[in-house]
């Protein structure tokens, strides 16, 4: 049976086959004009392919690059250094600005040009050079917009892979932090980095991640969600089984727990596997506040989860089927409000929910200066007008508003959308079977969640299966001196995070 290292080597070899360029794999010609014609043919004689001629003492040469992707100052420095050179061997033996070495394969030249480098070819020589001249406009590290916190680091990932890797290495200064590189996409050749801590992460999960990525055969990867959908365990489940974040501290915390991070060039969001259900309700700020405050906020999030999921459906079931469960005064008030409303409670709730979803999406797509104003004012104006027109009852407006606000408390955007989708299903069940329909829906939902897995790890762990040792960081967050071990199902080796003896006097044990 092969070891994990051998598996990763074989996966790397298979990935090289998958990511091979469409350009013909052949050696360079010793005739400069032939090489130039072949490169122009591959690029379809595109206008941004620049060819700059130069002459050595006895040999002619060419610089080839894509305009707009190179740093022209590096090219100018190289041209000035050619004054003292006379032969190809002089270039080979000299230390030139940006020189990355010799190339002999035609496909290597093509790939280098596509990456923003400059190819140097000399007449009479079947070899060339590649200058590292890539110049890309990158966004500076800024504050996270999707995962804001009151206390804690403000930095977030950018669209540049190298910057994102540096942000993680700044937080984890451990030589065991490993990085495996992949290139996915026949046309885009997108750079992907798989990062994990050797000796902490499970080798089987690392190999599984590499194997799934190596099986991807697609023309292009433009964002991390491409990878997420292609390697996730359950494609047709409404719940995400891969966690994503734009915060380096969240990814670093996951790596320290034994998870594997997947960083994709061109996106500020990193993927984290394996993922579990309770992880989507944790925030980075939980560890930057006191343990008691963090625990109370987590309880509030779980309560908001049920309000967001079951708020309208409970109102429909109680007002339509189970009026005897309501206090008499409240029942009379609801009946008076619904007098004159032409729609049943289900249609009333669906109309309000759809209107709210439209306003929510409009607020996101509109410019920031007017987006929030339109969504807030629109909700107030439309809600008030709908009540005065008699289309909906005031109680329904209150229920839908509280439900929408509760959904915003959930830290993860992915899981919040899943709850919004399931809310409509529970509304239909409540209008059909009342509370029995809601109970049936919850039963089926619990079975579905318990059946999900993320790279072999049960999605509902450590609740199902129940792991007593891991409850210290699930619904509640105990003080740091009690968080001695890593999650048992995530990391099954080197699970100790703190020295128990050093904290024994402080914990009173």
pLDDT of residue 493: 76
In angstroms, the Cα distances linking 157 to 69, 169, 267, 443 are 22, 13, 8, 39
* Per-residue model confidence as pLDDT tens digits over 464-506: 888 888 888 888 888 888 888 888 888 777 888 877 665 555 5
Q: Which of 498, 454, 503 is nearest to 231 (CA)?
A: 454
Higher-confidence residue: 47 or 247? Answer: 247
Comparing 116-125, 160-169, 284-293, 442-451, the range with the smallest average pLDDT is 116-125
pLDDT of residue 380: 67
Q: How confident is residue 92, by pLDDT bands cut at 50, 70 and 90? A: low
pLDDT of residue 7: 45
331: helix, coil or strand? helix
295: helix, coil or strand? helix
Report the share of the chain in percent with pLDDT over 70: 86
Alpha-carbon gap, residue 479 to 295, rounded angstroms: 10
pLDDT of residue 381: 72
- Residues 244/269, Cβ–Cβ less than 8 Å: yes
Q: How confident is residue 188, by pLDDT bands cut at 50, 70 and 90? A: confident
Q: Which of 413, 421, 483, 487 is nearest to 454 (CA)?
A: 487
Higher-confidence residue: 162 or 54? Answer: 162
pLDDT of residue 210: 94
* Exposure b/e, 120-133, CB count within 10 A at least 16 = b: bbbbebebbbbbbb
Which residue carries 């469409």 as its tokens? 22
pLDDT over threshold 50, residue 3:
no
Would the pTM count as exceeding 0.85? no
Alpha-carbon gap, residue 190 to 221, rounded angstroms: 6
* Per-residue model confidence as pLDDT tens digits over 256-310: 999 999 999 989 999 999 999 999 999 888 899 899 999 999 999 999 999 999 9
Report the share of the chain in percent with pLDDT over 90: 36
Phi, psi for residue 136 in degrees, rounded to 5: -120, 140
Alpha-carbon gap, residue 475 to 479, rounded angstroms: 13
Q: How confident is residue 29, by pLDDT bands cut at 50, 70 and 90? A: confident
* Per-residue model confidence as pLDDT tens digits over 124-140: 888 888 888 887 777 78
Which residue carries 């309560």 as its tokens? 303
CA angle 278, 229, 259 (to 5 degrees): 45
pLDDT of residue 88: 58
Comparing 16-25, 185-194, 252-261, 295-304, the range with the smallest average pLDDT is 16-25
pLDDT of residue 8: 44
pLDDT of residue 97: 55
Rounded average pLDDT over 108-136: 84
pLDDT over threshold 90, residue 24:
no
pLDDT over threshold 60, residue 4:
no
pLDDT of residue 393: 83
Rounded average pLDDT over 356-369: 76
């Amino acid at each position: 049976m092969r070891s994990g290292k051998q598996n990763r080597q074989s996966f790397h070899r298979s990935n090289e086959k998958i990511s091979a360029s469409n350009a013909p794999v052949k050696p360079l010609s010793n005739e400069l004009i032939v090489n130039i014609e072949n490169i122009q043919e591959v690029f379809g004689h595109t206008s941004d392919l620049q060819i700059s001629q130069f002459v050595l003492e006895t040999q002619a040469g060419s610089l080839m690059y894509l305009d707009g992707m190179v740093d022209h100052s590096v090219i100018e420095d190289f041209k000035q250094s050619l004054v003292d050179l006379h032969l190809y061997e002089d270039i080979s033996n000299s230390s030139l600005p940006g020189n990355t070495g010799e190339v002999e394969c035609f496909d290597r030249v093509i790939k280098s040009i596509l990456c923003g480098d400059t190819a140097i070819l000399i007449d009479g020589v079947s070899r060339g050079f590649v200058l590292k001249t890539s110049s890309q406009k990158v966004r500076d590290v800024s504050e996270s917009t999707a995962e804001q916190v009151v206390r804690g680091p403000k930095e977030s990932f950018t669209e540049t892979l190298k910057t994102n890797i540096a942000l993680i290495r700044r937080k984890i200064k451990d030589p065991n932090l490993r990085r495996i590189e992949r290139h996915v996409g026949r046309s885009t050749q997108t750079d992907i980095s798989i990062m994990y801590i050797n000796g902490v992460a499970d080798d089987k999960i690392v190999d599984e991640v590499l194997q799934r990525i190596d099986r991807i055969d697609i023309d292009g990867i433009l964002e991390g969600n491409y990878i997420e959908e292609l390697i996730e365990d359950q494609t047709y489940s409404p719940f995400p089984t891969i966690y994503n974040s734009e915060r380096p501290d969240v990814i670093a915390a996951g790596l320290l727990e034994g998870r594997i991070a997947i960083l994709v060039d061109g996106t500020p969001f990193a993927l984290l596997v394996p993922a579990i259900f309770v992880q989507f309700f944790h925030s980075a700020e939980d560890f930057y506040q006191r343990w008691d405050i963090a625990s109370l906020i987590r309880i509030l999030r779980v309560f908001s989860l049920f309000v967001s999921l079951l708020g309208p459906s409970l109102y429909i079931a109680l007002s339509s089927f189970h009026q005897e469960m309501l206090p008499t005064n409240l029942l009379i008030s609801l009946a008076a409000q619904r007098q004159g409303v032409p729609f049943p409670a289900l249609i009333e709730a669906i109309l309000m929910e759809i209107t709210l979803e439209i306003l929510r999406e409009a607020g996101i797509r509109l410019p920031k200066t007017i987006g929030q104003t339109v969504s807030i004012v629109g909700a107030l104006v439309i809600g008030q007008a709908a009540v005065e027109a008699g289309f909906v009852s005031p109680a329904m407006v209150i229920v839908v508003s509280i439900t929408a606000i509760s959904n915003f408390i959930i830290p993860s955007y992915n899981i919040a959308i899943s709850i919004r989708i399931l809310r409509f299903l529970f509304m239909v069940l409540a209008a059909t079977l009342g509370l029995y329909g809601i109970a049936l829906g919850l039963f089926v939902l619990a079975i579905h969640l318990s059946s999900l897995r993320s790279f072999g790890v049960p999605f509902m762990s450590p609740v199902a299966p129940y792991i007593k040792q891991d409850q210290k960081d699930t619904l509640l967050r105990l003080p740091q001196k009690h968080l001695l071990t890593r999650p048992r199902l995530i990391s099954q080796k080197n699970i100790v995070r703190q020295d128990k003896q050093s904290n024994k006097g402080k914990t009173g044990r």
